[in-house]
Chain A
């Protein structure tokens, strides 16, 4: 009987299933599309996949009757023509799945736009994120050296 090999350096300690790998590949590909802002879990019916303790928000891979996995993406995007954006996302997801050797496992790709940001909203969101980052940085700078947790 063969024993499981120890993970190589730089490889994840767990061995995710095809379903989880597909979910991660699909979410990464979708978020990489220009005009897609982020994935969103949602409130009632959550699109979240857990990969070794990490929450992948905005994606769910569901087994289909034909043995493949359907992908459900919930995305926040910029205000652009949605058909074209959805086609772009689907193409990128299929391409990424093929590169990962998962094209035979990939079924339908359902896309839901949970939010559409206008240019003003996008700018406001960017300013808010920048302000939060600056506040966090200032807070870290104010802490005495012993409280920073770096052992110095």
Chain B
């Protein structure tokens, strides 16, 4: 972490990157709003969630500094949190989605 973070702090300014990500997030928000007015059939929810996940990933990686985190444990905690969230959602949905048979 030491070489990496100090070099990224002192040599290149992160400001252009921050502003670029901010602009991307705003554009994506407009895009979600616009996509919701189109009839995409079953893909409306997928597009909305896809854009939301893209935005959340940008915030996590660059605003929350996970991309540049030298400590691998932090990346592990982030990934395991997402893994258990997916486990919760996926297993619950497989249960409820298959309940109304018969």
Chains A and B come from one and the same complex: no
Chain A residues proximal to chain B, CB less than 8 Å: none
B contact residues vs A (CB 8 Å cutoff): none
